[in-house]
Structures are given as C-alpha cells and as structure tokens.
Amino acid sequence: MARLILRVLRLCANAHRAVATKKIQSNLDRHVTQLLKCRRCPRMKSTPVSGGAILSDVLVIGQAPGPREPVLQRPFAHTAGKTLFRWFEEFCRMNEATVRSMIYFAAVCRCFPGKNSSGTDRVPAPDEIRNCSSWMDDEIRILRPRLIILVGRLAITQFIDCEKLGGVIGRKFRVARAGHRFDVIPLPHPSGASPWHKIPPGRELTVRALKLIARHPAVTALYKHRRRS
C-alpha cells in the first residue's frame, strides 16, 4: 500500500513538473517573439538576434551581435563564436550544436550597433544598454537560471564590478538580479580583438574559468540530460 501511495505521489509530481515546464516554455516562446519585434534603439544597425527559446538553467550573455550574426540569424556566428564553441568542446565536451540546443543565449544588446570611426564594432551606448536590460531581466525571471556565463567586459560589468579582467576571470560569484539568485562565471571576450586570453596570466585564468564552468552542477546536469536523450 505504502509503495502504491509513493508511486501515485511520484506520478503527480511528474505531471505537475510537466505542466510547469510547458508553461515556462510558452512564456519563453512569447518572450522571444516579442524580443524579435523590438525596435527601441534608433541607432542600431540591425534587428534583434536571438538564439531561440531554449529552456535552460544556463545562460550565456555576450556583448552584442557583430555584422554577421543578423545575416546568419544566430548569436556568436563568426570569429568569436569559433573560439567560444572550441572552449565548450574542449572543457565541457559539448559541440556547437549541443551548446546551441541546450543553453540560452542572451546579450547586453541584441542588435548590431554598427562600426565606430576606427572600423571596430561600436560598444553599445548607456541608453541602449538600459533599453535592452528589460529583455535580460525578463529572461532571468522566466528561466530562473542556476548559472550565467558572462562573455566579455561589458557583460561582466552588468552583474559585478570589474576593474581588471584579472581580478574576476577564474572566479565564480553569487549575484542577485530580477528577484533571483544565481552563480555567474565571467569569461574574457573571445573575439580576437584582444589577445588577453592568449597570454599569461589571462591564458591560465581563462582555463581556470572554463574548468569552473565544466564542473558547475548546472552544466554537469546538461551532460547527464544529453546522455539520457
């Protein structure tokens, strides 16, 4: 009898979880549909780029798309993405397709800001960052992530103080935002514009950060889920 009751309780819990997951997925679907229609920033040079409504405990937050991402319609689609996905492959044993299908991709700004006078990608302005932050807050509210991976200084400074990359890369921080607490692990930007991650001490600190990501329970849960499916 006790065993039967336990079984019924387990079935009820599973059914409850399935309903909750469906609701989160439909909220996220709606969110991404709205995000793609956003036109708040008149100086942006593209429409928003999204990695899709991926239900995940792990978020990657970058700076902003470059010129290729709006064309290819996915974040980290060019040079920076090559390095970022190589890091995931090497340290987390997840190839690009797996990462894109299991991790939610966000950014400080979702549109391409255009080039500055020196020909490099323009850093989003404070008003654009403010405009876009509500999308990120909504994503945190909907997904309630356990881990956010912050890629590059602009993304890092939205969550923690960062005087020098060397003071934060290779460490994990507990932060709160949008009514939720979670871990953040910063990474240097892999764009190649800065060689910081290739030369000491940046190289060693980047390896330390990637090992922290690979060992994080939210990421190890992704491996297990992948093995089961």
Binding positions for ligand SF4, rule: CB under 6 A: 38-41, 44, 48, 109-111, 128, 131-132
Q: Among residues 74 and 82, whose Cβ is nearest to ligand SF4?
A: 74
CB 125 → ligand SF4: shortest distance, Å?
A: 10
**Tokens 């404070």 identify what position?**
126
Long-range contacts, 33-36 (Cβ 8 Å, 24+)? 35/110, 35/135
> Least distance in Å: CB of 146 to ligand SF4?
25
Specify the residue, 99 or 111, whose C-beta has the smaller distance to ligand SF4: 111
Residue with tokens 């935002």: 177
C-beta closer to ligand SF4: residue 54 or 210:
54
Q: How many CB atoms lie within 10 A of CB 65?
A: 30
For ligand SF4, the closer of residues 132 and 162 by Cβ is 132
Half-sphere exposure of 104 (CA within 13 A, CB side): 26
Q: 49 or 209: whose CB is closer to ligand SF4?
A: 49
In the chain, alpha helices (H): 2-36, 68-72, 79-92, 96-102, 126-143, 153-157, 202-215, 217-228
Using the structure block, give the residue that is written with the tokens 């064309």: 71
Minimum separation from the CB atom of position 37 to ligand SF4 (A): 9
Task: Determine how many CB atoms are found less than 10 A away from the CB of residue 15.
Answer: 10
Q: How far is the CB of 48 from ligand SF4 (least distance, A)?
A: 4
Q: How far is the CB of 108 from ligand SF4 (least distance, A)?
A: 9
